[in-house]
Structure 1
Amino acid sequence: MKPTSRRKFIATAATVAAGTAIANAMPTINMESKYPIVHHVFFWLKNPGSVEDRERIIAGLKTLRKIETIKELRIGVVASTEKRDVVDNSWAVSELMFFKDLEGQATYQSHPIHQQFIKDCSHLWEKVIVYDAKDV
């Protein structure tokens, strides 16, 4: 084997080994089996151009993390993805929550922290749409 071929082989083998080690070290999360109840909420602001109003809703949503039945909470804003007919980017803020069961989702709905969020922030939104789903 030529010296350059041997070096290429060693470099390739090291790269493959490193990639395999990294892939094996990364945690895998199987949300669908661990937290089968999904609650996705989209908010449209009364003042769509108001960064301050958007940030107030985001801050309010972050308080919901204290509710123990919420197993995972993601808060998002519209991504600058490719424009397509099937993509709705008219909303301002979204929350995506995962629950272990329907009882946990029901507890969240009536929880004082959730009720306080509604009281503090509902004047900021014009429209809210909720999508609840269960893994099948």
Structure 2
Amino acid sequence: MDNTRRKFISGSLALAAGTVASVAVPLQPEKSKTPLVHHVFFWLKNPGSTADRDGIVEGLKTLRKIGAIKELRIGVVASTEKRDVVDNSWAVSELMFFEDLAGQAIYQDHPIHQKFIKDCSHLWDKVIVYDAMDV
């Protein structure tokens, strides 16, 4: 009986170890399907103008029709805690994800993007772009 109990315990431990190993998280993160991130910040010519801010937001929404953009997020300044490291001087941001550099290049030259610039550039005073690649 003692031998059967030992076999049961050792078998249970082996089964548990195998289960843990089979569901363990891999050490290397999975490669992103959208390795290029394009983040743009807009400062308004008329900083307090809700109409101008909304005009840029509406213009940015038209960019969703560009197939090269895999995901598009549009934002305005959040009312978060004021800290030295937080820059809330901008008015509108867009965050885009592309599969690769070629997709981002297609977006830059796309007629819808060019129309957005033509129709909305009179509303902004400054634009800063941050592009990043997955590593």
With over 3 angstroms needed to count, the CA separation of the structure-2 counterparts of 1:115 and 1:88, relative to structure 1, is same
Distance 1:91 1:31 in 2: 33
Q: Could you report, residue by residue, the CA deviation over 1:64-105 in whole angstroms, capped at 9, with x for unpaired residues?
A: 000000000000000011111010000000000000010000
1:74 partnered with 2:73: yes
5+ long unaligned stretches in structure 1:
1-29
- What is the TM-score of this pair, normalised by structure 1? 0.77
Q: Could you report, residue by residue, the CA deviation over 1:54-73 in whole angstroms, capped at 9, with x for unpaired residues?
A: 00000000000000000000
C-alpha displacement at 1:34, in angstroms? 1.1
**Aligned residue-pair number:** 107
Q: 3-state DSSP class of the match of 1:41?
A: strand
Percent of pairs with identical residues: 81
- What is the TM-score of this pair, normalised by structure 2? 0.77
Partner of 2:56 in structure 1?
Answer: 57
Runs of 4+ in 1 over 3 A off after TM superposition: none
Distance 1:48 1:100 in 2: 34
Partner of 2:120 in structure 1?
Answer: 121
Distance 2:116 2:50 in 1: 18
**1:85-104, aligned counterparts within 5 Å?**
85-104=84-103
RMSD of aligned Cα (Å)? 1.5
Partner of 2:34 in structure 1?
Answer: 35
Q: Could you say which structure has the larger radius of gyration?
A: 2
Q: 3-state DSSP class of the match of 2:131?
A: strand
With over 3 angstroms needed to count, the CA separation of the structure-2 counterparts of 1:42 and 1:31, relative to structure 1, is farther
Q: Could you report, residue by residue, the CA deviation over 1:116-136 in whole angstroms, capped at 9, with x for unpaired residues?
A: 000000000000000000010
